[in-house]
A and B are shown apart, each in its own frame.
Chain A
Amino acid sequence: MWRSASSDERLDHFVVIGNPGSRRIELFQAALNELRLPAAQVVSYLDLLSGKEALPRSVRDGTVVRIESPGKDFEVERALIAAGADAADDDERFDRVSRRAAQDLSFERGRILYPRQWYLGYCATLRLIELQLAECPPPRPLPQWMNSPAEIALMFDKIACHQALGARGAPVAPSLGAVGSFDEIGERMKERNWRRVFVKLAYGSSASGVVAYQTDGRRHQATTTVETARQNGELRLYNSRRIRVYRDLREIAELIDALCRQRVHVEQWAPKAGFDNRTFDLRVVVIAGRACHTVARLSRSPMTNLHLLNERGDEGAVRERVGRAAWDAAMRNCELAMECFPGSLYAGIDLLFTPGHRRHVLIEVNAFGDLLPGVFWRGLETYAAELLAMENGLN
């Protein structure tokens, strides 16, 4: 479980790495303000990546460092893809783009751009953050990380994260392991007698590049938010808000093969329990080893994580329906899952209950899954609860 570096130390200096002006940073500053803590110095990803800014200039002994999401900013996305161009890859099968070509990419709404390379670039950036501090001349500053950079990298890799959770004994859906093509997925499903799987991009935010695929041997169906478009002989992938259903085997194969070229995590599609004439899953924010904030997300599609902010179920009613024993067991397993990340104060964990709430399955761990304004635990929103946990622990 996460522990603060030294509990008698007063938290009086904060640095947040993120995209300046983003909602996440505003909310973090607001939480600091609410707790009468000094505003955080903001270090932008772009400045870090361009070398304009370096952490030793702002971080000192005892500084609390929060790493925020680099998402929702195309310039940052492009810079991370560029940063990933030079990163060594142990696996050469995936789509790559040169640093120069990455810098020339232009924005297209929803386009999925080189997620494997983006991830390599993001890992390089997380390492850079650590290295900049480690390489300071003595006396070297010792920051307090809210979440450790290395663990953020692990949370972002769905394959490695799934393995880590399983090894820890947390309930996860069985996975197909490394697969490189739609045909391979089909073969492995047949071997295991599976009819339904989720194919997800191994990297990227939870709702990006997800396909729910099912077959009974005769029919095939893929439900997804991914759209494809052919341009100059290249198949481009886009995330959309619209759910599409593909039934043509060739189209499905083309779509899934395109995702496979970015590396995918494939796991069994465990059936979800319903609530209020929808299907649902839970987002649970674990802070300092304890399951705190929960949100039930309702959906009419297999993709429950689409509308994180608009379709919330009445948490009390969901909890009552699930029943205390099943609910508590799920919370304990979220806490168990966080033991995989001893250097991280918080994360947002997604889980589902199977019909009849017989069992629960952890779906994924989101490093930046704590953005849930308006959701309270003991009167506190997530960011404030995290800060209080650092200061005093949660008891």
Chain B
Amino acid sequence: MIYEHITNFAGKPVKDWEAQSGLQDPEGACYALRLSYEEAEEGRRWTDKFAAFLDDTSSNQVTGIVIGDWGLLSSAMDETSAPVVEALVAARDRLPKLRAIFFGDIIGEECEISWIRQSDISPLFTAYPQLEHFCVRGAEGLSLGSLKHSRLKSLIIQSGGLGANVVREVAAADLPELEHLEMWLGEENYGADATVADLAPILDGGLFPKLKYLGLRDSQIADQIARAVATAPVVERIRVLDLSLGTLTDEGAAALLDSPAIARLEKLDVHHHFCSEEMTAKLQSLGVDVDASEREKPDVYGDEVWRYVAVGE
């Protein structure tokens, strides 16, 4: 579960945009546009708030925006993100400096991550050719289309269950500048149906020539992923491998230990894992920067053993 709104994005602090306070630091901060519980109760709409933001005289200087709850909390209806995508696309000429978009900074107390209804967000990449950082939360209904973008450096997809269709779109993307790729794969119960084979084009290493960070996080099949990544060519290219938040056990960790390429990384992040104490110690003595904190214990009910990813639901 995610409990707090983000405080930093694309290297900048995040501030809530409110009509009263306006834009005090349009270039130094990312501005969050969220329909708060209070505003929703008053019957206000996200699109109106966004229109007011665009009317703020310095909004054309803004470099990063965070889209918060667009009214999911206040609506008994199924609202997708399509109207938000549409509003952002229509605002393209009014946000000429926009480099960073966080689409869906919605916490569990507002809407479960697997209940966030996304949509086809591919028009955003065409509308904002200068975009460098993009993060989306929630995978239901999500589509990236045929993703081709000449500036994008960082792509993050946070979900409780990422569909194979999205993984395949990423694995077919043309992103020559991509340095940071992060996918929260999640659990089958919440829509995760990608297999290791779907990741193959990414693991082969040729797809994103500038990749430095690869995050295959929050995965229920973390062991399979660890085994595949350990010997994958992509590890030779990247500096940071992030397999955190998932259900990694000794089995997957052993594969990582056996890989000479893993030992040449700058950092290996596996925090929130299910490895034994011995294995955790071995990982920590790999000689690279290792985060193996948050050692979890499985839930045992009778002879059933359950290991949960950090963010499901």
When distances are taken between beta carbons in the complex, the residues of chain B under 8 Å from A270 are 37
A195 CB–B CB distance under 8 Å: yes
Q: Is the CB of A216 within 8 A of B77?
A: yes
In whole angstroms, how far apart are the Cα atoms of A270 and B36 in the complex? 11
Q: How far is the CB of B9 from chain A (nearest CB, A)?
A: 16
Q: Is the CB of A214 within 8 A of B112?
A: yes
Q: Is the CB of A271 within 8 A of B77?
A: no
Would you give the 0/1 interface string for A57-91, flagging 1 where the beta carbon is closer than 8 Å to chain B? Answer: 00000000000000000000000000000000000
Would you give the 0/1 interface string for B67-104, flagging 1 where the beta carbon is closer than 8 Å to chain A? Answer: 00000111111100000000000000000000000000
Q: Is the CB of B5 within 8 A of A356?
A: yes
A219 CB–B CB distance under 8 Å: yes
Interface locus among A94-102, A120-128, A273-281: A273-281
Would you give the 0/1 interface string for B1-35, flagging 1 where the beta carbon is closer than 8 Å to chain A? Answer: 10111000000000010000000000000000000
Q: How far is the CB of A268 from chain B (nearest CB, A)?
A: 9
B303 CB–A CB distance under 8 Å: no
A359 CB–B CB distance under 8 Å: yes
A 255-304 contacts with B by CB, 8 A: 270-275, 277-279, 300, 302
Q: Is the CB of A355 within 8 A of B5?
A: yes
When distances are taken between beta carbons in the complex, the residues of chain B under 8 Å from A273 are 4, 109
B179 CB–A CB distance under 8 Å: no
* Among candidates B73, B76, B107, B112, residue contacting A221 with C-beta atoms closer than 8 Å: B112
When distances are taken between beta carbons in the complex, the residues of chain B under 8 Å from A218 are 78
B38 CB–A CB distance under 8 Å: yes
Q: Is the CB of B76 within 8 A of A219?
A: no
In whole angstroms, how far apart are the Cα atoms of A271 and B107 in the complex? 9
Interface locus among A155-163, A186-194, A325-333, A374-382: A186-194
A 190-212 contacts with B by CB, 8 A: 190, 192-196
B110 CB–A CB distance under 8 Å: yes
Q: Is the CB of A274 within 8 A of B4?
A: yes
A175 CB–B CB distance under 8 Å: no
When distances are taken between beta carbons in the complex, the residues of chain A under 8 Å from B75 are 193, 195
Q: Is the CB of B37 within 8 A of A215?
A: no
B 95-130 contacts with A by CB, 8 A: 107-110, 112, 115, 117
Q: Is the CB of A195 within 8 A of B76?
A: yes
Q: Is the CB of B109 within 8 A of A271?
A: yes
Please classify the interface of chain B as helix (H, G, I), strand (E, B), loop, or mixed, using the class held by over half of its residues: loop
CB contact under 8 A between A219 and B115, given known A195-B76, A274-B107, A356-B5: yes
Q: How far is the CB of A270 from chain B (nearest CB, A)?
A: 6
A4 CB–B CB distance under 8 Å: no
When distances are taken between beta carbons in the complex, the residues of chain A under 8 Å from B77 are 193, 216-217
CB contact under 8 A between A274 and B109, given known A193-B74, A217-B76, A218-B78: yes
Q: How far is the CB of A355 from chain B (nearest CB, A)?
A: 6
A358 CB–B CB distance under 8 Å: yes
When distances are taken between beta carbons in the complex, the residues of chain A under 8 Å from B117 are 216
* Among candidates A189, A300, A355, residue contacting B1 with C-beta atoms closer than 8 Å: A300
In whole angstroms, how far apart are the Cα atoms of A218 and B73 in the complex? 15
* B74 nearest CB neighbor, chain A only: A193
Which size bracket describes the interface of A in this complex? 20 to 34
Q: Is the CB of A271 within 8 A of B3?
A: no
In whole angstroms, how far apart are the Cα atoms of A217 and B78 in the complex? 7
CB contact under 8 A between A216 and B76, given known A271-B107, A300-B1, A355-B110: yes
Q: Is the CB of B1 within 8 A of A271?
A: no
When distances are taken between beta carbons in the complex, the residues of chain A under 8 Å from B36 are 354-356, 358
When distances are taken between beta carbons in the complex, the residues of chain B under 8 Å from A217 are 76-78
* B43 nearest CB neighbor, chain A only: A193
When distances are taken between beta carbons in the complex, the residues of chain B under 8 Å from A221 are 112
* B16 nearest CB neighbor, chain A only: A356
Q: Is the CB of A355 within 8 A of B78?
A: no
Q: Is the CB of B76 within 8 A of A190?
A: yes
Would you give the 0/1 interface string for A145-187, flagging 1 where the beta carbon is closer than 8 Å to chain B? Answer: 0000000000000000000000000000000000000000000
Q: How far is the CB of A385 from chain B (nearest CB, A)?
A: 32
Would you give the 0/1 interface string for A354-375, flagging 1 where the beta carbon is closer than 8 Å to chain B? Answer: 1110110000000000000000
* Among candidates B3, B37, B73, B74, residue contacting A279 with C-beta atoms closer than 8 Å: B3
Q: Is the CB of B76 within 8 A of A355?
A: no
* Among candidates A189, A216, A278, residue contacting B3 with C-beta atoms closer than 8 Å: A278
* B32 nearest CB neighbor, chain A only: A356
CB contact under 8 A between A193 and B76, given known A219-B115, A272-B109, A354-B38: yes
When distances are taken between beta carbons in the complex, the residues of chain B under 8 Å from A219 are 115
* A277 nearest CB neighbor, chain B only: B3
When distances are taken between beta carbons in the complex, the residues of chain A under 8 Å from B5 are 274, 355-356
Q: Is the CB of B78 within 8 A of A216?
A: yes
Q: Is the CB of A216 within 8 A of B4?
A: no
When distances are taken between beta carbons in the complex, the residues of chain B under 8 Å from A279 are 3, 108-109
CB contact under 8 A between A271 and B110, given known A195-B75, A355-B37, A358-B36: yes
Q: Is the CB of B73 within 8 A of A195?
A: yes
When distances are taken between beta carbons in the complex, the residues of chain A under 8 Å from B115 are 214, 216, 219
When distances are taken between beta carbons in the complex, the residues of chain B under 8 Å from A194 are 76
When distances are taken between beta carbons in the complex, the residues of chain A under 8 Å from B1 are 300
Q: Is the CB of B37 within 8 A of A271?
A: yes
* Among candidates B4, B38, B76, B107, residue contacting A358 with C-beta atoms closer than 8 Å: B38
In whole angstroms, how far apart are the Cα atoms of A381 and B117 in the complex? 48
In whole angstroms, how far apart are the Cα atoms of A270 and B76 in the complex? 14
Would you give the 0/1 interface string for A107-127, flagging 1 where the beta carbon is closer than 8 Å to chain B? Answer: 000000000000000000000
* Among candidates A193, A215, A274, A359, residue contacting B38 with C-beta atoms closer than 8 Å: A359
In whole angstroms, how far apart are the Cα atoms of A273 and B117 in the complex? 22
Q: How far is the CB of B305 from chain A (nearest CB, A)?
A: 16
In whole angstroms, how far apart are the Cα atoms of A279 and B1 in the complex? 10
* Among candidates B72, B76, B110, residue contacting A215 with C-beta atoms closer than 8 Å: B76
In whole angstroms, how far apart are the Cα atoms of A195 and B106 in the complex? 15
Would you give the 0/1 interface string for B29-58, flagging 1 where the beta carbon is closer than 8 Å to chain A? Answer: 000000011100000000000000000000
Would you give the 0/1 interface string for A206-250, flagging 1 where the beta carbon is closer than 8 Å to chain B? Answer: 000000001111110100000000000000000000000000000
In whole angstroms, how far apart are the Cα atoms of A359 and B36 in the complex? 10
* B79 nearest CB neighbor, chain A only: A216
When distances are taken between beta carbons in the complex, the residues of chain A under 8 Å from B76 are 189-190, 192-195, 215-217
When distances are taken between beta carbons in the complex, the residues of chain B under 8 Å from A192 are 76
In whole angstroms, how far apart are the Cα atoms of A359 and B39 in the complex? 11
Could you name 9 residue pairs across A and B whose Cβ atoms are closer than 8 Å? A215-B76, A271-B37, A273-B4, A275-B3, A277-B3, A279-B109, A355-B5, A358-B38, A359-B38
Which A-B residue pairs are the 4 nearest by beta carbons?
A274-B3, A274-B4, A271-B109, A193-B76
